[in-house]
């Protein structure tokens, strides 16, 4: 089986625009943009819709985060203290 590819890579390979993918998947623009940037992990239903819009199986898409998740603790210095 071929290696799973990121949504952004599949968009480029297929030669479609992000707008076309949004329309074909019928998902919210912000969600599709975040998924394409690798900043959001979609639900199983969102995965099915995006894979169908891209013309691939769900297993052929790498769905995880590509951008490091930064964990920020506390409310910042303006509130006096942070752990």
- The residue segments making up the domain with residue 79 are 1-83
Q: Mean pLDDT for the chain?
A: 85
Share of the chain above pLDDT 90, in %: 55
Mean pLDDT of 55-78: 75
Instruction: Dump pLDDT digits (tens) for 56-66.
Output: 999 999 887 66
The count of structural domains within the chain is 1
pTM of the model: 0.74
> Does residue 82 carry a pLDDT above 60?
no
DSSP H helices in 1-83: 7-14, 18-25, 29-37, 44-54
CATH number at 58 reads 1.10.260.40
> Does residue 40 carry a pLDDT above 60?
yes
Q: Which residues pair with 61 in a beta bridge?
A: 5
Identify the H or E element spanning 61.
Answer: strand 61-62
> Does residue 26 carry a pLDDT above 60?
yes
CA pair distance 78, 30, nearest whole angstrom: 30
CA pair distance 61, 29, nearest whole angstrom: 19
């Amino acid at each position: 089986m071929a290696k799973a590819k990121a949504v952004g890579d599949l968009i480029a390979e297929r030669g479609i625009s992000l707008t076309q993918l949004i329309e074909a998947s019928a998902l919210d623009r912000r969600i599709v943009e975040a998924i394409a940037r690798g900043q959001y992990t979609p639900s199983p239903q969102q995965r099915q819709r995006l894979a169908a819009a891209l013309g691939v199986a769900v297993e052929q898409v790498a769905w995880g985060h590509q951008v490091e998740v930064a964990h920020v603790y506390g409310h910042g210095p303006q509130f006096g203290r942070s752990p």
